[in-house]
Amino acid sequence: MSRSRRSRRKSRSSRWLWLVPLMAVIVVLAGGITLTIWAKRYLRSDAFRVFLAQRVSRLLHVEGEFDPFSWTDASVYSESFRGRGKSLLEEVDAQGIRATIDFGSFKREAWEVEQVTINRLHLNLGRGSGHEGTPQAGPAPEEAKSNKSFWSRWIPQKVDLGEIQIAEVDYELSGDSLAMKGKGLALTLTPMSGDEGWSLSGGGGTLVVGQMSPVSVDRLHARLRAEEFFVTDAGFEILDHATLITTGDVEFASGELAFRSHVDQLKAEHVLRADWRQRLLGTVQAEIETKGSYGGGLALTHKGTVRLKNGILMALPVLEKLADYTRTERFRRLVLNEAISDFRIEDDKLQLEKLFLRSDGLLQVTGNLTVGHPFNAAIPRPLSGTLQVGVVRDVLKWLPGIEKRIFTQDRSGYVWTTMRVGGTLEQPMEDLTPRLGQ
């Protein structure tokens, strides 16, 4: 074959070589388009709804399901998600759920739910005992994975959730010794980078603990992980503009919880029974450490320090007697320049330790007191303790010999006696008044 003929053949074949990469591009594009169309079809199927319900169920440790999905472009809407569980979260009911899904995200081996909005979310936080017969969330069934098609291998088994905005959260916690209900909390959850957890930020709404008056939720900042719930900063307005600030955490596996709280500007009248509200005035400031567990019931221990600011103590029989015998009217309306005590609340008992009261130039009181059933106003609350009472020497000038009979100890510029306290908080008794009249 001549050289010219071979050259012509080579020239003709080279004309079509450019079609090879073009055909490859067409095949890839066609496959990608087909795969995208299939992905959109799968996302609109009941199989995807079941798949997503199982992933959400695992996240919340419940068994739940979505109502049917309604699609508008990349936005999907469901009337509700309802679930029941055996851990701390016993029931969840989310209403008005809308999400935006990236159709092309399956190429990145995860279904990306870019944003979720929820109109209303109700949570029932029980004792962790759960409901008998509630099945545990298990592996996704075959029908949720695919319809056995060629494209089934492309179905991601992971869901990446973006920001979740909840317009209104209602929640309740039931325990043997404490019940808590909250409503109207607006909450935003943001996934934490590099960690399988969520950052929570919100505020608004009210919270009711036991029989106490409702408190307003000013702010909530927290972190939620599979193993714990950590409150970094929560602020509340309680009882006529008083403030409560708290931090702490709850460990889900052990049921252990620990919180530190600060209370300020709490009027004493809000923590006293009616018969004491005219006897003790001022505002309460407290540092509180709370520890306990919620498994099988809610058992809590509180301890810390409480301080009464701008305190006034009056209308007590012992003070009235001191005013009469010493001819010192300041005892009838005793201004407390300092009033502070350590405290512990455990087993339905309040213990005041290292109690210290001071009225400048007149009186000091130190000691310990115990009050039974401190927060149960329906029954008498037993009172017991021993106090050291010190008065300045000048007020005893009208009581000759009393320093030898009663106020027998001399220290720190005061003369002291021991006073034993009994009776109940409603009708306190002490042994100093009878001795003053002897």
**Distance between CA atoms of 230 and 248, rounded to whole angstroms?**
6
Q: If residue 116 lies in a helix (H) or strand (E), which one and from where to where?
A: strand 111-125
pLDDT digits (tens, 9 = 90+) for 355-403: 999 999 999 999 999 999 887 777 888 999 999 999 999 999 888 888 8
Please state, in angstroms and as integers, the Cα–Cα distance from residue 322 to each residue in 334, 335, 360, 390, 403, following that order. 11, 15, 16, 12, 14
pLDDT digits (tens, 9 = 90+) for 306-346: 999 999 999 888 899 899 989 999 999 999 999 999 999 99
Describe the crossing of helices 46-60 and 19-43 by its angle, rounded to 10 degrees: 70
Q: Which two tokens stand for residue 204?
A: 């608004």
**Distance between CA atoms of 251 and 254, rounded to whole angstroms?**
6
Which DSSP state fits 382?
Answer: B
pLDDT digits (tens, 9 = 90+) for 12-32: 545 544 444 434 443 333 334
pLDDT digits (tens, 9 = 90+) for 405-414: 999 999 999 9
Q: Which one-letter amino acid corresponds to residue 349?
A: K
Task: Answer yes or no: are the C-beta atoms of 285 and 257 closer than 8 Å.
Answer: no
Which DSSP state fits 52?
Answer: H
Q: What is the mean pLDDT of the chain?
A: 81
pLDDT over threshold 90, residue 174: no
Task: Answer yes or no: are the C-beta atoms of 97 and 78 closer than 8 Å.
Answer: yes
User: Alpha-carbon dihedral of residues 145, 76, 188, 218, nearest 10 degrees?
Assistant: -130
The confidence score (pLDDT) of residue 303 equals: 96
Say which range, 72-86, 134-148, 329-343, has the weakest mean pLDDT: 134-148
The confidence score (pLDDT) of residue 224 equals: 86
Tell me what the mean pLDDT of segment 184-201 comes to: 87
pLDDT digits (tens, 9 = 90+) for 204-245: 999 987 777 789 999 999 998 878 889 999 999 988 889 999
**Distance between CA atoms of 384 and 373, rounded to whole angstroms?**
13
Confidence band of 39 (pLDDT split at 50, 70, 90):
low
152 phi/psi in degrees, rounded to 5:
-60, -30
Specify the pairing of strand 215-225 against strand 228-238.
antiparallel
The confidence score (pLDDT) of residue 142 equals: 39
The confidence score (pLDDT) of residue 24 equals: 40
The confidence score (pLDDT) of residue 151 equals: 45
